[in-house]
Amino acid sequence: MSLLEQQESYLTELLTSISGKLITELQKDNLRLTQENASLRLSLNSCKEQLIDKKAIALKFLIMQDIVERMTALRIHRITLPYERKELDEEDEPNGIRLEISQAMLNSVIDERRVIDYSLYLPTGMNYNMNFLKLVEHTTIDSIDTEDGEKDITQNEKDNQVEADVVYVPCLQQRHFKDIEYLRKILPNVFFDMFAIQHDKLSMFYGSLQKFLTNSTPE
């Protein structure tokens, strides 16, 4: 065998050995990457399931929140400072009558941290008491002491002459009794009463409600 043939044979064996090692390493890397890919897919599927669960929980929370708001006509939102009303977009703020009650009004020492502001409203666009809601759909009351609001609502009632259903709106105990009397005066088809009812005053509440319903019954 000539020297050239020996070198050629040596190079062939060396190339075969190197290619074999490279193929073995590539197979190991491929196996490792396949396992990592499978693990990542499992982790991704788990994250998707968790996201679906969180979305479902969030949706249930929104549904429950909507049910509570519709049943109690009570929204609770945070404001940054006492006496400061939080401005919301039209999409976030339903049209209708809005009554603001702030806890800060009762505090002798003003707390400039966040306080809870209670907002009672009769939103439009719902499927109950629509006659009444149409009656006040474009009416806004910014102040309890405004006399123009009373005239506008009274005139609006005369113009529309719509027989509205009785609407019960619970008011928190922070609301002054004079304010409730004023609200009852300008909105005769709405029964405003204290939000919290003590057991020993239930008879008083039912008596007041019966009197209101009796006076509201058309002859």
Label residue 99 by pLDDT band (50, 70, 90).
Answer: very low
Label residue 11 by pLDDT band (50, 70, 90).
Answer: confident
pLDDT digits (tens, 9 = 90+) for 112-126: 333 333 444 433 333
With a CB cutoff of 8 Å and minimum separation 6, the contacts of 107 are 82
Label residue 91 by pLDDT band (50, 70, 90).
Answer: low
Give the residue from 65, 121, 73 showing the smallest Cα distance to 95: 121
Asked if pLDDT for residue 27 goes beyond 80, the answer is: yes
Asked if pLDDT for residue 134 goes beyond 50, the answer is: no
Label residue 201 by pLDDT band (50, 70, 90).
Answer: low
Label residue 153 by pLDDT band (50, 70, 90).
Answer: very low
**Exposed, middle or buried, 194 (CB in 10 Å: 0-12/13-18/19+)?**
middle
Asked if pLDDT for residue 47 goes beyond 60, the answer is: yes
Asked if pLDDT for residue 16 goes beyond 70, the answer is: yes
What's the whole-number mean pLDDT along residues 16-39?
A: 87
pLDDT at 217: 55
Question: Half-sphere exposure of residue 25, counting CA atoms within 13 Å on the CB side?
Answer: 6
Most confident of 3-7, 21-25, 191-195: 21-25
Between CA 159 and CA 51 the distance in angstroms is 53
What's the whole-number mean pLDDT along residues 128-137?
A: 32
pLDDT at 82: 34
Kindly report the pTM of this predicted structure.
0.28
Give the residue from 81, 89, 126, 131 showing the smallest Cα distance to 107: 81
